[in-house]
Amino acid sequence: MWTNTCCSHPAPGERVDAAAHRRLVEEMGFDCPLQAAFNFTYRAEFDNGLIEHEFDHVFVGRWEGEITPNPEEVGSYRYITLTDIRRWMAERPEDFTPWFKIALPEVEKYFQRL
């Protein structure tokens, strides 16, 4: 399933913003300035019996350099516009994680405010 660039949980005692930077490097091989954008809570039940009920922090940043994803963390990646993501999600919602479906409209609102 496709989702946001990076996902994780802070280590015990680690600040959320520090965890975001750490995991961005561990997953995608780069770091950049990040801004806290918004938070949300979601609950999703999966076909395998797993239930996620989480409070998520969303950070945004811009990067124009090399991307070297960790193959143990990242199966694939793409850079596409918000318009293309929205269109793809409308046509094939099953391609995306439950939390990304919730977060995408808020990400769009965040960028509209800039």
State the DSSP string of 45-64: E-TTS-EEEEEEEEEEE---
Question: What 3-state DSSP class applies to 86?
Answer: helix
Comparing CA positions, the residue from 59, 61, 73, 63 lying closest to residue 17 is: 59
6 is catalytic: no
64 is catalytic: no
Partners of residue 34 on adjacent β-strands: 61
Choosing from 14, 45, 52, 54, the catalytic residue is 54
Q: Give 29's contacts (C-beta < 8 A, 6+ positions apart).
A: 66, 67, 68, 69, 70
Choosing from 7, 26, 32, 73, the catalytic residue is 7
Would you name the residues annotated as active-site residues? Answer: 7, 54
